[in-house]
Structure 1
């Protein structure tokens, strides 16, 4: 048991190892030699690490916005220390979470092998934290003992991993660069809702990515450039509204707000470039390697991968989606404040960026500019109101959910919590 827990907590919880193992198995199934397998594994793992580290660091670069927004709207700031929040959150559910994570992945593989839903969820970092949410809802919302809690939680996670990939796959055909894989991410219900809203109320002929700009501004079509400029302006405007003196004393450690804003914008643009480079590096290897699994081990299977893979083809949607979801979250925060809601809720900026971006991408793919705006706005509302409903249900897991609560956590979490309550805590 000790060896198993070590492997779960130290190896299988690291998504980069899962990705590497998938490439080894896939290429071995194609009878590739070790000198062909090794370079492909290394390049895939490096590409994935660039995406993962780039995404995490890019998210952290947004965190000063939290202090600025707290000052502007006069609301208490929520701690943004991910390490401390994770340590506190796992205190009461660490063992259950780890076992649900490992067994849930096994359930996903069995469903992919023996049912018509041939989707293998490869975003281990997503399923790891979702395992924690399920463990928290079951532990703090039921009277289940250890073994049934883990078994029920594993089935719930495995079903979620499989079917979230499956319904996202239904909408991938309209998305540029989405060939050969589906998405495995905790924004899946946001993608579903955004795509449906785009189809219902939008017009995909009015593509957000085809906005005409003067010839001399064509450089703005490059994601690195446009995001750097937009984020620099966003930081600067919020610094002005919050008050330059207060910002220097409380946010920038004495640094001038112009210099601070430019450096933050450049840092953001740099990490976007890292992500894009990693996307190209990883995709060139893993899709080919996965063919071995799809042909030999789990016939016709499709890999579920992370959402930044689509960002390079949709620079405008990424920007519009983030800003629209952020505005919706702030509106939701003010509504909760006016209602005197007992739990203080603040827009979680890392989820707001990533889920806002991907819901705008799918909204745009299915409904053009209007679809992107409607989809990402609804996504922002789900993030804030869903988090407000979820936090009282999950006990010690609440600190990490205040920082990383993405659309699926905020949507499915309260539903599962209410179902458990209706059944009297089982």
Structure 2
């Protein structure tokens, strides 16, 4: 009997808050305060502004520490300290690469997938010597419309979704998923809806970069001199739209391969989720590309896809009762922190 698990960090955080809500909230608030303190007294001048990821990491820390048998006071204290440290370390390890991507030192990446992006950048560096950037790809004039990332994402998703509904079968899709709508039309509409959602995110990212950096400077000068805002992963998408699509596809391909690899190691089958592979895989593609061009984008994102398939599988047994919920935390840092912390806590019990 092999258990299949779809990693979804949003769903996992919601489940965790049901059982560990108080601890999660306290860890989040204290962790954010600790982030400001660390930014003020250490050279790591990053203020982590990705609120939902702060909440998710707080939820995971609450689960791991509670399952490990710590008292509520220690769960909150240890959790807040670890969260605060992660909020400055995560942007810091990526900053040399983020600086190259954005062309400025005013921004950082605040997203708990940083170990995956770092892996992608390092793999890209190793394999991509002399490989040109994927953004310089010569597209035939007849395919120039693909240079618009919304069009490219729509078409990519359309192909993917149509394949998926064909595999699932007409009867299943129309009876269980699409509410009676024709299964091919359903796939096409879903792919366009997905692309529209990504377009809205990117429009928001451009607005937030234009607005938040100047606003942040004012706050930073009062609280933390020279502080840098660490923003969500789509911040880097507009800088390398081709790498976004290639990174997603390569990471997703690695997720499909991992479905067959995980059982060989006695692990649960991790079904590749679209959300972690799209957002994290795309970001990994951007980091792989900046260090190793086309080859870096493909191979770096593939390595990232393997990482975010194996880490959730190893993390699963450490999640206590939540480990049976057929979902788990998807992004790389949750796996790294959760696995290390879970094993450290178990040494004391």
Give, in whole Å, the separation in 1 of the partners of 2:162 and 2:323. 31
CA contact (8 A) 2:135 2:241 kept: yes
Q: What residue is the counterpart of 2:320 in the other structure? A: 395
From 308, 315, 337, give the equivalent of 2:263. Answer: 337
Give, in whole Å, the separation in 2 of the partners of 1:266 and 1:416. 41
- Which residues of 2 match residues 317-328 of structure 1 at below 5 A? 317-328=243-254
Q: What residue is the counterpart of 2:220 in the other structure? A: 294
For the aligned residues, what is the CA RMSD? 2.4
Q: What residue is the counterpart of 1:347 in the other structure? A: 272
- Cα deviation per residue 1:120-140 (whole Å; 9 max; x = unaligned)? 111111111101111111111
Q: What residue is the counterpart of 1:11 in the other structure? A: none
- Cα deviation per residue 1:397-418 (whole Å; 9 max; x = unaligned)? 4478925421111222212212
Give, in whole Å, the separation in 1 of the partners of 2:213 and 2:325. 32
From 66, 70, 76, give the equivalent of 1:150. Answer: 76
Residue 378, structure 1, aligned to residue 310, structure 2: no
Distance 1:91 1:75, change over 3 A: closer
Give, in whole Å, the separation in 2 of the partners of 1:297 and 1:253. 53
From 83, 89, 100, give the equivalent of 2:27. Answer: 100
Give, in whole Å, the separation in 1 of the partners of 2:89 and 2:9. 32
- Which residues of 2 match residues 72-221 of structure 1 at below 5 A? 86-141=13-68, 143-176=69-102, 179-203=105-129, 205-221=131-147
CA contact (8 A) 1:232 1:265 kept: yes
State the 1:193 CA deviation: 1.1
Larger radius of gyration: 1
Moved more, 329-338 or 119-128: 329-338
- Which residues of 2 match residues 233-244 of structure 1 at below 5 A? 233-244=159-170
Q: What residue is the counterpart of 2:289 in the other structure? A: 364
Distance 1:178 1:412, change over 3 A: farther
Give, in whole Å, the separation in 2 of the partners of 1:76 and 1:361. 30
CA contact (8 A) 1:294 1:301 kept: yes
Distance 1:221 1:204, change over 3 A: farther
State the 1:101 CA deviation: 0.8
Q: What residue is the counterpart of 1:416 in the other structure? A: 341
Give, in whole Å, the separation in 2 of the partners of 1:197 and 1:81. 25
State the 1:260 CA deviation: 1.7
Number of residue pairs matched by the alignment: 348
CA contact (8 A) 1:382 1:407 kept: yes
State the 1:242 CA deviation: 3.2
CA contact (8 A) 2:251 2:281 kept: yes
Q: What residue is the counterpart of 1:224 in the other structure? A: 150
From 265, 278, 284, give the equivalent of 2:191. Answer: 265
Secondary structure of the equivalent of 1:93?
Answer: helix
Give, in whole Å, the separation in 1 of the partners of 2:173 and 2:156. 20
Structure 1 gap ranges (5+) = 1-73
Q: Pick 1 or 2: higher relative contact order, CA cutoff 8 A, min separation 6.
A: 2
So what's the TM-score if we normalise by structure 2?
A: 0.92
State the 1:346 CA deviation: 2.2
State the 1:245 CA deviation: 3.8
Give, in whole Å, the separation in 2 of the partners of 1:104 and 1:148. 14
Distance 1:76 1:304, change over 3 A: closer
Distance 1:289 1:220, change over 3 A: same
Give, in whole Å, the separation in 2 of the partners of 1:114 and 1:309. 27
Q: What residue is the counterpart of 1:275 in the other structure? A: 201
Structure 2 gap ranges (5+) = none
CA contact (8 A) 2:98 2:108 kept: yes
Give, in whole Å, the separation in 2 of the partners of 1:288 and 1:266. 34
- Cα deviation per residue 1:324-348 (whole Å; 9 max; x = unaligned)? 111111211212234553x343223
- Cα deviation per residue 1:272-296 (whole Å; 9 max; x = unaligned)? 2211221222111110111113333
Secondary structure of the equivalent of 1:417?
Answer: helix
Give, in whole Å, the separation in 1 of the partners of 2:170 and 2:98. 45
